[in-house]
A and B are shown apart, each in its own frame.
Chain A
Amino acid sequence: MSRRFPSLLAGPLAALCAAGLLAASSARAQAPAPPPDVKPPTVVHHVDAVYPPSALPAREHADVVLTLTIDVDGHVSKLDVAQSSGAADLDEAAVVAARQWTFTPALRDGKPVASRIRVPFHFAPPAPPPEVVDTSKPGVMPQQPAVPPAASAPRTEPASPALPGSAAAAGPASGTAPGESAASGSAAGATPSPDGGTASRIGEDEIQQVDIHGHLEARPHGTSDYQFVLDKQKVVPRENASHALELAPGFLLTNEGGSGHAEQVFLRGFDAREGQDLEFTVDGVPINDVGNYHGNGYADTHFIIPELIHSVRVLEGPYAPQQGNFAVAGSADYHLGLDRRGLTTEYTVGNFGMQRLLTMWGPSDAPAGTFAAAEYYTTDGFGSNRQAKRGTAMGQWETPLGRGTLRINATAYLTEYNNAGVVREDDYETGRVGFYGTEDPNQTGNTASRASIAATYEKRFKDIDTSQQLFTIYRSMRLRENWTGYLLDVQQPTQEPHDQRGDLIDFHFDEETLGVHGMARWHGEWLGLRQEVEAGYMGRLDQTTSTQDRVAAVTNTPYLRDADYTSTLGDVGVYLDGNVHLLPWLGLRGGVRADMFLFDVLNNCAVTSVGSPSTATAAAQIDQPCLSQLEHGLYREPFTRSATSDGAVMPRGTLVVGPFDHFEFTASAGNGVRTVDPSYVSQGLLTPFVSAQSRDLGVAYAGDLGGTVGLTAKSVFFQTHVDQDLIFDPTAGRNTLAGGSTRTGWAGSARALGSFFDLSANATFVQAVFDDTGLLVPYVPDIVVRGDAVVFTDLPWRLAHRPVRAVAGYGVSYVGRRPLPYGERSDVIFLNDASVGVGWTIFDVRLSSQNLLDARYRLGEYNYASNFHTAPQPTLVPERSFTAGAPRTVFLSLSATLGGG
């Protein structure tokens, strides 16, 4: 479509394309001047509207006109769509941005008064512009370099006054509050037209520029780059923040460790466990633990209050130089924001004793990036050993500072939960253990906590946008789980004769992190096309301790120490990322990233004087496992450190061709790395990371149906190879390094957005095999299908003259029979989730159900040897075990919002 209107692509406006410039209106020449005693509001803080990712492939231009009511403090207190673009996502993007604008209030006789203005947004795609820039055409957004230097000064000019005949001038009849003046603002040199819409007359001499504040958006890197604004999709019941990722294709999330345990992530042929192969961040702040013996890269997202997720960016594959450690299968970045302004209190009650109290607030006259929220959650769980409770608090303050935006985020999260663990299939079949039962009731007392503070400052200069971030994180977790029962405790000659004491793992991890992020993005013109070059860095230093003990079932006390590591881990990455347009239809995005990893590990598990043990001390060391802790063939002393470092240089790039008639084609390739846990360094591994190589071929489509329904679709063929895969070892209770593996597959997704619905569907087919044997990688699902549907509308009747809002959401998941060890396949998972809700004035009520059809399913399935003393003699050969998926859960939520504007 966009190829039909090359002349309209007047500026290479990149991904942030709407209202990149807010000009003072030139209405002085075309409209009556305001009354002498009225001074219209002027823009102080301006946030870009983000071109919706769902519309990116279409590269459509569109216009949205908003009516903003500015209160006496200069904040947007009311906001309406005066003229829709016809696409809900574009309208929404304009609304979300405008809500964050701040102004100096309108003045009447020198006193601030409320006012109303109209702001047209013009959306232009981020594709390279044509060679010919013709800003005289209607709706054209001049490119920024064309702005006269003088216009780059901070905007101080008043927004133009309302025009006669415009809606804004209609006074109270059109919603203007008493005492309000009416004014009209416009975007990027667009002159307000008599009807208040975007003018058809634009002159470069009318163009003025304001400071651009707000969140610097990442540039897309290929078809596998999925960016979702959740918005109405929040209606679909999702267990926690991790499940928001399912809007991107290929995700399967399981959890064998209890409700406070990180989700196990399967993605595009990877068993990423709890995040080892997927880089998780929240607004750039890392979530993955490093040095976590249970899972290096363990990513617990439960500290994120789902209602605060504004959008999620999932990049499947290591194709962006910004992606760091663990971005092997890809990366996921949560972008926080509170769209529901005001003070909201929500109480939710559900079956299995579930209760949740949530309170959150975001002043209506503050940007969406300013919010606070806190929750308390408790549940008895749907079966044995599944009790859990948690408390979470998150707050963020976003404010203009100088010519930039400062954002400070703080979080605190605590949880305690029990863990049912696995159930042997034969025990379930014979009735010894219930489907929702537990083999070991001692898997209790699990905890997790996190506290973090992050400060981000983003500033836009004339031709360089910059961002600097500083963060510090404290993380702690305790995990008690028993995979094997009574299997591993072998009588040693040096031990007093004993019964098997049990294999219950008691794992503890502490992490303190200090890190920085920074980037600068230059944009300029070359070959007549807009070009961008971004350079950035990331650094984090982690001090971690990991201990893992085995606990005797009878006494519930540790009897054996598996691991005890104290580590200092460092990672400094630097990258260069270009967004180069060679032709209007040909671009290259990507560059190179280099990371330097440092590991300094102290294995406290080494035995004193083990190099020359005496018989006198040997008996006392009956359970010390450290006798096997060799380093380069030599026994270690407990004060002997192991250190190593190495660097990885990772080229990453995407070739973009198109769009041609709604289609855009991309070819991506890139390398990624995943560090190993410190135990391997202690054992002499000199290169502390594993490399992956990935490539994609993708095509994206974007169009509309009848002009009112936006439709996007993507298709990607991918292949990823990793030098050393991770394989779950139930005897160790964690993933351990295995041989190289390659996964090949296809992912497809589609989304349709209309004025009253949002439909999303995706599917992934993949085959992951080990390089040496050609055998399938176990546990990895080869078919994952997900669908989400949301409808939202006002009901046809009103209550007390107020509209009644209605929403309904439905999600369906299908996971094919996963390959399991020993040539087995799991059962199919087929789940349905649904919710319905109504709202009236400040009140909302919603009824939600997960696993609506009450399917009895096995969330995780395994084949390995375990012995839970449920047979006359030990069971020592592999047997099917499973973790039960949740039965039907039903929740009723009641909420009220005050001061939402």
Chain B
Amino acid sequence: MRRLVPILALGLAALACNGSTGDHLITFTAYARGATGAAQPFTVGDYSIQLSEAKMLVGAVYVDESPLGNQTGGPVCISPDVYAAQVPGPVEVDLLSDQPQEFSVYGQGTADTGLSWQMWLTDGDVNEANRAHVVDLQGTATRTSDGTAIPFAAIVTINDNRIVTTVDPADPGANPVCKQRIVLVGGIDETFFDGGKLTITIDPRPWFELGFDFASLPPVDSDTCLGGDTTVPVDPTVDYGSAQVCIPNTNYASGAGAIEGQELFTSIVTGGSAAYTLQYQ
């Protein structure tokens, strides 16, 4: 007995130190890059588009353990306990470069599988007014039928210029601005592990797939191009460069470019897996 007790105790001590609660916390590096070929001309409808500048501010990335599901009401801005990974810091991505551009922070998460992900287009509080350009675009659209070249530019900000007005007074909070700033993307099946590398690829070309009539866009010195988002004043020299026309920075423009202004923003936030891909390796 005198020998047995310490032996059993030591055995239990060894056993006691084993085991796991399951899962693991992980950290990883995170990058964003443009799609290969985005810097080359591409054709959409009657236009050949050559982008000379394409930047996108990605404020954060969150990977959800659930599939995209039915998001008829738009994204739930913060839904606790569903995320496998996060990159809670920004990077401004040069979309014309396919070289990985590192986020300002490391990613963190758990060793779980993500089935959908979110891209947050903000550099501040997702519900606060935001002065950042989410997207900067400059390029030339050349009409293939007659060779007319139209230098164009676009800035995209997300403030009251994008907010969806709630019509039901019983649901005053149905459409907070955060819903406009979060891009939902499904179709992934990535299992995360410690020390990995997350790369998101952003292809601006699908943003144009709705087919813009560049010839009908308003001139950059028009009120439409200089306005749009009262929170973010436009400096045409900086923001539009040598462009002649702009895609309006609002969903609520009227007249020339009104539809294009809506459609560009819609394409950006609903670009899906055609415009945005995520890899973890």
A residues near B, CB below 8 A? 484, 487-488, 490-500, 615-616, 618-619, 622, 663, 699, 715, 717, 731, 744-746, 748, 763, 765-767, 769, 773, 775-778, 782-783, 816-817, 819-824, 863, 865, 867, 871-880
Contacts and interface: CB of A to CB of B under 8 A. Distances in A.
A877 B84 contact: yes
Nearest to B177: A497
Contacts of B85: 877
Contacts of B150: none
Interface string B260-281: 0000000000000000000000
Contacts of A619: 169-170, 172
Nearest to B171: A493
B190 to A, nearest CB: 14
Interface in B46-61: 59-60
A747 B22 CA distance: 26
A699 B8 CA distance: 13
Contacts of B89: 871-873
B105 interface: yes
A876 B86 contact: yes
Contact of B86 (A731, A875, A880): A875
In the A-B complex, the 4 residue pairs with the smallest Cβ-Cβ separation, listed nearest first, are A873-B60, A782-B16, A493-B174, A493-B171
A615 B172 CA distance: 12
Contacts of B79: 490
A699 B5 contact: yes
A493 B89 CA distance: 28
A500 B78 contact: yes
A823 B83 contact: no
Interface stretch (B124-132, B138-146, B211-219): B124-132
Interface string B20-54: 11111100000000000000000000000000000
B88 A496 contact: no
Given A490-B79, A497-B127, A731-B81, A873 B16 contact: no
B86 A494 contact: no
A765 B13 contact: yes
Nearest to A782: B16
A493 B127 CA distance: 14
Contact of A819 (B21, B81, B176): B21
Given A871-B105, A872-B88, 9 more contacts: A490-B79, A491-B77, A766-B16, A776-B20, A783-B17, A816-B17, A821-B21, A822-B111, A873-B126
B17 A876 contact: no
B21 A767 contact: no
Interface string B94-122: 00000000001100111100000000101
B238 interface: no
B108 A879 contact: yes
A783 B19 contact: no
Interface residues of B, number: 57
Given A715-B9, A876-B83, A491 B173 contact: yes
Choose among A776, A819, A823 the residue with the greatest number of B CB atoms under 10 Å from its CB.
A823
A376 B105 CA distance: 49
Contacts of B21: 775-778, 819-824
A649 B126 CA distance: 56
Interface string B149-162: 00000000000000
Interface of B is mostly: loop
Contacts of A873: 59-60, 88-90, 120, 122, 126
A863 B21 CA distance: 11
B5 A823 contact: no
B13 A776 contact: no
A871 B60 CA distance: 11
B127 A822 contact: no
A872 B25 contact: no
A618 to B, nearest CB: 5
A775 B76 contact: no
Contacts of B18: 767
Given A488-B80, A765-B16, A824-B24, A877 B86 contact: yes
B123 interface: yes
A608 B161 CA distance: 39
B178 interface: yes
B267 to A, nearest CB: 23
Contacts of B128: 499
A778 B25 CA distance: 14
A498 B19 contact: no
Contact of A745 (B12, B109, B176): B12
Contact of A865 (B13, B15, B80, B170): B80
B80 A877 contact: no
A493 B12 contact: no
Nearest to A494: B171
Contacts of A878: 25, 110
B255 interface: no
Contact of A823 (B8, B25, B169): B25
Contacts of A490: 76-80
B208 to A, nearest CB: 28
A481 B86 CA distance: 26
A816 B59 CA distance: 40
B176 A497 contact: yes
Contacts of A499: 125, 127-128
B170 A618 contact: yes
Contacts of A765: 9, 12-13, 15-16
A767 B16 contact: yes
Contacts of B23: 821-823
Given A767-B16, A822-B23, A874 B78 contact: yes
A807 to B, nearest CB: 32
B172 A877 contact: no
B5 to A, nearest CB: 5
B62 A876 contact: yes
B3 to A, nearest CB: 12
